[in-house]
């Protein structure tokens, strides 16, 4: 799990830092807005850290690390399955 200072560090480097954060919490049916948020994430140097943070803290809404909540749930299931197989 990330330390608090590490969380702050990656956030300071995020591509969305100067964006309106509401942009990353679009309506689930607004595919255009979802695509626009994901486009910002696609060029983000800390998208992996953002995604990890969202999964570790159970963020249930919004676009984090370029993924929707549904996509993050799938990734989390895959991660958990990988852990089970490795143990």
Query: What digits encode the pLDDT tens for the residues 48-69?
Result: 999 999 999 999 999 999 999 9
* Per-residue pLDDT at 26: 97
| Mean pLDDT to the nearest integer, 65-74 | 96
Residues 6+ apart with CB under 8 A from 40: 15, 16, 19, 23
Give all strands (DSSP E) within the chain, no chain letters. Answer: none
Residue-level pLDDT at 61: 96
Q: How confident is the model at residue 40 (pLDDT cuts 50, 70, 90)?
A: very high
Report the alpha-carbon distance of residue 41 to residue 78 in Å, rounded.
Answer: 21
Q: Name the pLDDT band for 9 (thresholds 50, 70, 90).
A: confident
Burial (CB count <10 Å: 0-12, 13-18, 19+), residue 28:
exposed
The mean pLDDT of the chain is 91
Site of tokens 């991660």: 79
């Amino acid at each position: 799990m990330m330390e608090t200072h590490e969380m702050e560090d990656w956030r300071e480097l995020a591509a969305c830092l100067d964006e309106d954060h509401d942009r990353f919490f679009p309506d689930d049916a607004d595919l255009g807005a979802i695509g626009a948020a994901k486009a910002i994430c696609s060029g983000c140097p800390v998208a992996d850290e953002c995604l990890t943070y969202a999964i570790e803290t159970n963020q249930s809404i919004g676009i984090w690390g370029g993924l929707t909540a549904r996509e993050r749930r799938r990734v989390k299931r895959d991660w958990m399955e990988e852990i089970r197989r490795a143990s």
